[in-house]
């Protein structure tokens, strides 16, 4: 009968309860979406390996490093493998069609970035064809790319039209892997540059160093940078994760703003829910006093109020959580190119549940305390 | 010590209204025997409802000795007092005070949740109690689907269900028309006559008080007289 009392009480003012539930569902949904946006922001860093180092020009990423550094870095103690990458920055048909493109050394790059998955045949074909490229599955879906297609990019960093043949579509090892990039042969870029702008050939954007043991990251980073100290192109080496976080930190204020908005949303619904519960309990003061007169303890009254608040929070929160997945999918479809990884994580769902629970508990706290403390004779006199 | 069911000695009760202390009961002493049907009458503010609340254990005196059903209830803590009320007191309120979301049957069954009793037995007893007040056919009706008189009969069934030592009724007919009021009063009289329930009733209505064995008059917090009504 306790449950019957809780649920029937919860729906006594149907419109008020439904509006509160809708508000809670929207708040929990908004929180889930905003949290997912923040996770997406950090997805690159989260997916980065601690056993990979990125070596770049210490002045800025814009300045390249000589190709001759590759063998020197390879000789440093603790370095297991090395590869390279150049940001290409081309345009596919129209400037709005943005996606990241990198010129890479295919074999070593794919060995180090083992999270990029290709079939053996795709890998073989990519390695064989110097004008070949591979694209991530998400990118392929977005533009309808298929293996064998020829695509032309207009170079912005490296002017001219550049033709590529898609030799493979890679997938990710897990949800955190960025499958929205295009990768092609550094040799193709470099040989073309030798012909068109010889002064820009034999240059590398970043070196990616596989060290195997992440515990030695600081020591090996130092060793690499010392190697090129006082040279024309001094280096800055950091872990892949720190490198990715460096990009995120430039937009940190946006992330902080989003995080704040997500908390504000929860705070607003907490106020709405607390108001609902306060009104509800005030209206039922005489009923709670009657229960206490009949011999029910103040704890029973507290249970009734908490039960009602938690029931509303559970239903509203549950709807909000359930709605997060389809809405996030829609969001990802619309803004997918800005967020390579846009998945609702189990942590986000856990936090949504926790917030719904806290909203239920906190909003019932003061009304329950008041109802438990009110003297029976005073409660019986009150009219809801 | 007498063998009275209710024994009050020098009961004093005051209320605080802002800075002001308002005396309500000024040293009231009397006994009520088991099986009595007593009406408490008096003008507004005479202290009759306060007196009833003290006897029912939902309020506490400032001083004095209050023994009900063999227990000095002024000395009980809140939890023990709640247990004591559940065992000994049945309540009938002016505005019925039924739970609007529960059916008539569930309302009657409600006090039995405090007893260690299987659900089936609870329901059976509640049906019997409803039968006793003539509402067996309205068991599944919500209070809002019942007339005032019917709601008060449900409240009486709820007051009876735990077989309490004492029934307290605060203006039980105050919200009813004359015919319904008479029905309720006859029902209360039957409970007193046939099953020997001790009833203490606060009323303004002298016709209602006429159904009691005795009427006790209060004025300005003091007993001003007692008259026997029916043998």
Span B63-83, average pLDDT: 93
Q: What are the residues whose beta carbons fall under 8 Å from the beta carbon of A103, sequence distance 6 or more?
A: A85, A86, A88, A184, A185, A186, A188, A189, A190
Q: What are the residues whose beta carbons fall under 8 Å from the beta carbon of B128, sequence distance 6 or more?
A: none
Name the pTM for this structure: 0.76
Half-sphere exposure of A142 (CA within 13 A, CB side): 23
Domain check: are A220 and A74 in the same one?
A: yes
**What values do phi and psi take at A309, rounded to 5?**
-65, -45
Among the candidates A193, A220, A249, a domain finishes at: A249
Task: State the pLDDT confidence band at A247, using cuts at 50, 70 and 90.
Answer: confident
Domain check: are A92 and A35 in the same one?
A: no
Among the candidates A222, A249, A276, a domain finishes at: A249
Span A76-96, average pLDDT: 93
* Lowest-confidence region among A79-93, A225-239, A331-345, B189-203: A331-345
**Residue A90 scores a pLDDT above 70:** yes
Interface probe with A: pick from B78, B98, B110, most Cβ of A within 10 Å: B110
Domain check: are A102 and A139 in the same one?
A: yes
Query: What is the C-alpha separation between B34 and A46, in angstroms, rounded?
Result: 79
Domain B34-45+77-228 top-level CATH class: alpha beta
- The SS3 call for residue A177 is coil
Is the CB of B85 less than 8 angstroms away from the CB of A294? Answer: yes
Domain check: are A207 and A84 in the same one?
A: yes
User: Do A78 and A233 meet the contact criterion of CB atoms below 8 Å apart?
Assistant: no
Span A79-100, average pLDDT: 92
pLDDT attached to residue A377: 93
Give the domain extent around A351: 2-43+252-381
What is the bridge-based pairing of β-strands A235-239 and A52-57?
Answer: antiparallel
Is the CB of B59 less than 8 angstroms away from the CB of A375? Answer: yes
Is the CB of A290 less than 8 angstroms away from the CB of B82? Answer: no
User: Do B200 and B159 meet the contact criterion of CB atoms below 8 Å apart?
Assistant: no
Domain count, chain A: 2
Mean pLDDT for all residues in chain A: 91
- Nearest C-alpha of chain A: how many angstroms from B83? 6
Is the CB of B91 less than 8 angstroms away from the CB of A294? Answer: yes
Domain check: are A162 and A209 in the same one?
A: yes
B110 reaches A (C-beta below 8 A): yes
User: Do A137 and A169 meet the contact criterion of CB atoms below 8 Å apart?
Assistant: yes
Task: State the pLDDT confidence band at A384, using cuts at 50, 70 and 90.
Answer: very low
**Residue B231 scores a pLDDT above 80:** no
Which parts of chain B fold into alpha helices (H)? 48-56, 78-88, 104-109, 119-132, 148-160, 178-195, 206-209
* Lowest-confidence region among A90-99, A339-348, B122-131: A339-348
- Per-residue pLDDT tens for B97-145? 999 999 999 999 999 999 989 999 999 999 999 999 999 999 999 999 9
Mean pLDDT for all residues in chain B: 93
- Taking the CA atoms of A68, A73, A74 and A76 in sequence, report the sign of the dihedral they define: positive
Task: State the pLDDT confidence band at A61, using cuts at 50, 70 and 90.
Answer: confident
pLDDT attached to residue B228: 86
Residue in B86, B95, B101 closest to A12 by CB: B101
Helix crossing, A2-10 with A298-335: angle to 10°? Answer: 50
pLDDT attached to residue A95: 86
Tokens of B101: 């979301």
Nearest CA to A208 among A87, A122, A40? A87
Domain check: are A297 and A155 in the same one?
A: no
- Interface predicted TM-score of the whole assembly (ipTM), two decimals: 0.94
Span A80-90, average pLDDT: 94
Domain check: are A257 and A372 in the same one?
A: yes
pLDDT attached to residue B1: 46
Domain check: are A341 and A304 in the same one?
A: yes
- Nearest C-alpha of chain A: how many angstroms from B114? 7
Domain check: are A189 and A313 in the same one?
A: no
Neighbours of A377 (CB within 10 A): 18
What is the bridge-based pairing of β-strands A101-104 and A182-185?
Answer: parallel
pLDDT attached to residue A244: 81
Is the CB of B85 less than 8 angstroms away from the CB of A5? Answer: no
Span B15-28, average pLDDT: 90
Domain check: are A130 and A92 in the same one?
A: yes
Query: What is the C-alpha separation between B98 and B100, in angstroms, rounded?
Result: 6
User: Do A105 and A208 meet the contact criterion of CB atoms below 8 Å apart?
Assistant: no
- Per-residue pLDDT tens for A149-199? 999 999 988 999 999 999 999 999 887 788 999 999 999 999 999 999 888
Domain check: are A35 and A71 in the same one?
A: no
Which H helix or E strand runs over A43? helix A43-47
Domain check: are A229 and A275 in the same one?
A: no
Which parts of A295-375 fold into alpha helices (H)? 298-335, 346-373
- Per-residue pLDDT tens for A286-301? 999 999 999 999 999 9
What is the bridge-based pairing of β-strands B89-92 and B166-170?
Answer: parallel
B106 reaches A (C-beta below 8 A): yes
Among the candidates A249, A269, A292, a domain finishes at: A249
pLDDT attached to residue A337: 65
**Residue A248 scores a pLDDT above 80:** no
Which DSSP string corresponds to A260-298?
A: HHHHHHHHHHHHHHHHHHHHHHHHTHHHHHHHHHHT--H
- Contacts with B, A 261-320, CB within 8 Å: 286-287, 290-298
- Chain B residue with minimum CA distance to A383: B95
């Amino acid at each position: 009968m306790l449950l019957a009392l809780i649920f029937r009480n919860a729906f006594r003012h149907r419109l008020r309860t439904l509006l509160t539930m809708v508000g809670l569902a929207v708040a929990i949904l908004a929180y889930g979406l905003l949290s997912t946006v923040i996770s997406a922001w950090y997805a690159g860093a989260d997916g980065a390996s601690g056993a990979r180092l990125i070596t770049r020009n210490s002045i800025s990423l814009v300045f390249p490093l000589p190709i001759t550094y590759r063998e020197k870095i390879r000789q440093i103690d603790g370095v297991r493998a090395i590869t390279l990458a150049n940001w290409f920055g081309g345009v596919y048909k129209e400037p709005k069609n943005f996606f990241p493109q990198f010129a890479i050394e295919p074999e070593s790059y794919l060995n180090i970035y083992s999270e990029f998955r290709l079939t053996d045949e795709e890998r073989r074909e990519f390695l064989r064809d110097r004008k070949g490229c591979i694209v991530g599955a998400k990118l392929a879906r977005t533009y309808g790319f298929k293996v064998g297609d020829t695509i032309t990019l207009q170079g912005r960093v490296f002017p001219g039209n550049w033709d590529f043949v898609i030799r493979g579509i890679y997938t990710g090892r897990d949800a955190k892997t960025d499958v929205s990039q295009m990768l092609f042969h550094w040799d193709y870029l470099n040989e073309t540059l030798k012909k068109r702008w010889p002064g820009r050939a034999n240059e590398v954007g970043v070196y990616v160093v596989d060290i195997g043991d992440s515990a030695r990251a600081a020591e090996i980073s130092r060793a690499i940078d010392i190697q090129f100290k006082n040279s024309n192109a001094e280096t800055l080496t950091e872990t892949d994760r720190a490198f990715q976080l460096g990009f995120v930190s430039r937009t940190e204020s946006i992330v902080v703003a989003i995080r704040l908005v997500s908390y504000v949303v929860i705070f607003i619904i907490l106020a709405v829910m607390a108001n609902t519960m306060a009104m509800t309990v005030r209206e039922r003061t005489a009923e709670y006093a009657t229960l206490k007169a009949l011999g029910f303890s103040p704890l029973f009254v507290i249970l009734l109020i908490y039960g009602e608040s938690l029931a509303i929070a559970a239903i509203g929160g549950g709807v909000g959580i359930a709605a997060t997945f389809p809405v996030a999918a829609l969001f990802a479809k619309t803004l997918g190119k800005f967020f390579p990884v846009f998945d609702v994580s189990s942590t986000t769902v856990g936090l949504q549940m926790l917030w719904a629970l806290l909203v239920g508990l906190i909003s019932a706290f003061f009304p329950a305390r008041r109802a438990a403390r009110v003297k029976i004779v005073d409660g019986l006199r009150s009219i809801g | 010590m007498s063998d009275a069911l209710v024994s009050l000695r020098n009961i004093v009760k005051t209320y605080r209204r802002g800075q002001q202390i308002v005396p309500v009961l000024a040293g009231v002493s009397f006994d009520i025997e088991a099986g009595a049907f007593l009406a408490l009458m008096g003008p507004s503010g005479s202290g009759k409802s306060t007196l009833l609340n003290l006897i029912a254990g939902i309020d506490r005196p400032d001083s004095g000795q209050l023994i009900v059903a063999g227990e000095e209830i002024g000395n009980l803590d809140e939890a023990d007092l709640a247990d004591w009320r559940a065992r000994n007191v049945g309540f009938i309120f002016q505005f019925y005070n039924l739970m609007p979301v529960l059916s008539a049957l569930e309302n009657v069954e409600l006090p039995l949740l405090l007893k260690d009793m299987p659900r089936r037995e609870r329901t059976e007893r509640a049906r019997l109690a409803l039968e006793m007040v003539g509402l067996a056919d309205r068991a599944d009706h919500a209070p809002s689907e019942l007339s005032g008189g019917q709601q008060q009969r449900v409240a009486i069934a709820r007051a009876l269900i735990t077989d309490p030592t004492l029934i307290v009724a605060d203006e039980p007919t105050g919200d009813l028309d004359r015919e319904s009021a008479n029905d309720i009063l006859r029902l209360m009289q039957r409970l007193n006559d046939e099953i020997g329930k001790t009833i203490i009733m606060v009323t303004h209505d002298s016709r209602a008080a006429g159904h009691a064995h005795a009427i006790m008059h209060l004025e300005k917090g003091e007993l001003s007289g007692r008259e026997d009504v029916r043998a």
